[in-house]
């Protein structure tokens, strides 16, 4: 590749970098919304390729400017293998027309090979455009991501040529990570089959929404304390989980928007906020009585006010 091509690419990139970045950010939001529909907890990040990195890739891999499809990239990290499979189905459905390439390393590798196992997609900003912007999406489990990140750090030490026996050690670790992924999935399946109390059942049902829309962490002890007698807030024939899901469907975006703006209202950073707001809307007086036995009334007043209601 001659240097005038590289200079030309640099000029293109400086002109287009901002557009690619905007597309990456937009795609990240789209992915978040898609996975939210199935309440799949996900950690999303995006990055734009560095100027030098782009040119180096063109030079080393003899690619043209347009051939480089990872100018902007989004990474989606989910917890379990079951989340990965569900996310893959959802992404394929949602971006069917826009996916220009999909590659699952697991599907293409043979049964004696271990190593990098993410699913990659090249997603266009527009299905019909002849010259679309392309963003590379990487979908991984937490274990796959951990291996990938550490393997990358260890394999690319500047100035050191890693011998093949050490590379083999690194790849062997990926087999361990694959076993860990399978084991975590098996344990999750076993836990899901255990008989559970109401608080656990509710927290499990709220888990996906909470993690994808509000926060990564909450005080579990506080949740259990509030939910320990939650059945008394509902009629015996009411399906609590179904009611909460319907409430989230209708009000989920409002809850997450208020949660992000109101760190001063403590309960908005707890998953039981969904139960509190659902009861506030449908059985306020029952909730007030229940609340009296748990916390000071001012706390419920603060929640109600932030939600645009009054207890008075």
> Which residues sit at the interface with other proteins, rule CB under 8 A?
254, 258, 261-262, 264, 282-286, 288-289, 301-302, 304-312
Q: How far is the CB of 165 from other proteins (least distance, A)?
A: 57
Query: Closest CB to other proteins among 77 and 302?
Result: 302
Q: What would the DSSP string read from start to end of the chain?
A: --HHHHHHHHHHHHHHHHHHHHHHHHHHHHHHHHHHTTT--EEEEEEE--HHHHHHHHHHHT--TTT---SEEEEEEESSHHHHHHHHHHHHHHTTTTEEEEEEHHHHS-TT--S---EEEEEES-SS-SS--EEEEEEEEHHHHHHHHHHHHHHT-TT----HHHHHHHHHHHHHHHHHHHHHHHHHHHHHHS---HHHHHHHHHHHHHHHHT-S---HHHHHHHHTTGGGGS-TT--HHHHHHHHHHHHHHHHHHHHHH-TTSGGGGSTTHHHHHHHHHH-HHHHHHHHHTTS-HHHHHHHHHHTT----
Shortest distance, CB of residue 288 to other proteins, whole angstroms? 8
Shortest Å, Cβ 43 to other proteins: 26
Least separation, in Å, of the C-beta of 21 and other proteins?
27
Beta carbon of residue 246, minimum distance to other proteins (angstroms, whole number):
17
Tell the smallest beta-carbon distance from residue 309 to other proteins (Å). 5
For the CB of residue 2, give the shortest distance to other proteins in the complex, in Å. 54
Q: Which is nearer to other proteins, 69 or 282 (CB)?
A: 282
Which residues make Cβ contacts (< 8 Å) with residue 273, sequence separation at least 6? 214, 255, 259, 267, 303
Looking at the Cβ atoms of 50 and 296, the one nearer to other proteins is: 296
Tell me whether residue 142 or residue 233 sits nearer to other proteins (CB atom): 233
**CB closer to other proteins out of 6 and 286:** 286
Q: Which is nearer to other proteins, 130 or 298 (CB)?
A: 298
> Would you say 3 or 293 has its CB closer to other proteins?
293
């Amino acid at each position: 590749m001659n240097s005038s091509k590289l200079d030309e690419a640099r000029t293109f990139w400086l002109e287009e970098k901002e557009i690619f970045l905007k597309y990456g950010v937009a795609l990240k939001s789209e992915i978040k919304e898609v996975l939210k529909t199935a309440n799949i907890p996900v950690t999303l990040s995006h990055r734009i390729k560095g100027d030098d990195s782009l040119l180096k890739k063109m030079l080393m891999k003899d690619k043209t400017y347009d051939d480089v499809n990872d100018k902007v990239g989004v990474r989606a990290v989910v917890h379990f293998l079951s989340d990965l499979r569900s996310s893959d189905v959802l992404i394929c459905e949602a971006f069917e027309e826009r996916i220009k390439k999909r590659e699952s390393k697991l599907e293409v590798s043979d049964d004696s090979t271990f190593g990098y196992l993410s699913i990659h997609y090249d997603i266009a900003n527009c299905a019909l455009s002849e010259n679309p912007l392309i963003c590379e999406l990487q979908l991984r489990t937490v274990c796959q991501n951990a291996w990938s990140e550490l393997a990358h750090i260890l394999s690319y030490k500047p100035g050191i040529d890693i011998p093949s026996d050490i590379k083999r050690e690194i790849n062997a670790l990926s087999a361990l990570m694959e076993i860990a992924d399978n084991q975590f999935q098996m344990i999750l399946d076993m836990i899901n089959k255990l008989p559970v109390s109401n608080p656990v059942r509710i927290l499990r049902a709220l888990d996906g929404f909470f993690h994808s829309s509000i926060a990564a962490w909450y005080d579990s002890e506080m949740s259990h304390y509030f939910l320990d007698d939650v059945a008394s807030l509902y009629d015996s024939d009411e399906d609590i989980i179904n009611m909460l899901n319907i409430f989230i469907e209708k009000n989920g975006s409002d809850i997450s928007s208020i949660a992000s703006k109101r760190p001063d209202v403590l309960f908005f950073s707890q998953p039981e906020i969904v139960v509190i707001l659902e009861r506030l809307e449908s059985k306020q007086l029952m909730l007030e009585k229940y609340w009296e036995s748990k916390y000071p009334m001012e706390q419920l007043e603060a929640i109600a006010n932030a939600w645009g209601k009054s207890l008075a």
